[in-house]
Structure 1
């Protein structure tokens, strides 16, 4: 099953390689995120948000970490 959030990030940036370069990881690492073999580390979340000009949100990348990346509608 493909990670839709990472897929969106790849589409916005242009390719797995471009996303990898923007985040500072290897392309195989991005492939692992895409195919749910690895989770995006919290350290890399903001780099993905930046690489996509905010089109992908931090809480979408790691919804399992609401204290670190709160959903704006649930943060209040």
Structure 2
């Protein structure tokens, strides 16, 4: 989750763009303690952050 938060904060408007891509509100992303499993694939495709980094507890840490 930390990597995603860094990615979101690196450029203005990213949180809004990701939320729009996912069909949710930006505040919903802010409430996550970890990336929801059902959203990992779409977030990976949109951000380029691997699923192993987004959810290492499920996919293992990506090299």
Structure-1-length-normalised TM-score? 0.62
RMSD: 2.3
- The structure carrying a bigger helix percent of its residues is 2
Give CA-to-partner distance per residue, 1:16-50, whole Å, 9 cap, x none: 111111122221111113xx3xx221110011111
Q: How does 1:1-76 map to 2 (within 5 A)?
A: 3-10=1-8, 11=10, 14-33=13-32, 36=33, 39-52=34-47, 54=48, 56-65=49-58, 69-72=59-62
Query: Is the Cα–Cα contact under 8 Å of residues 13 and 51 in structure 1 kept in the other structure?
Result: no
Alpha-carbon distance between aligned partners in 2 of 1:7 and 1:72, rounded to the nearest angstrom: 17
How many pairs are equivalent? 62
The 4+ residue runs of structure 1 with deviation greater than 2 A are 11-15, 69-73
Q: Give ranges in structure 1 of 5+ residues lacking alignment.
A: none
- For residue 12 of structure 1, report the CA deviation from its aligned partner: 6.5
TM-score (structure 2 length as normaliser): 0.71
Q: Which of these two proteins has the greater Rg computed from alpha carbons?
A: 1
Q: Report the Cα distance in structure 2 between the residues aligned to 1:57 and 1:13, rounded to whole angstroms.
A: 22
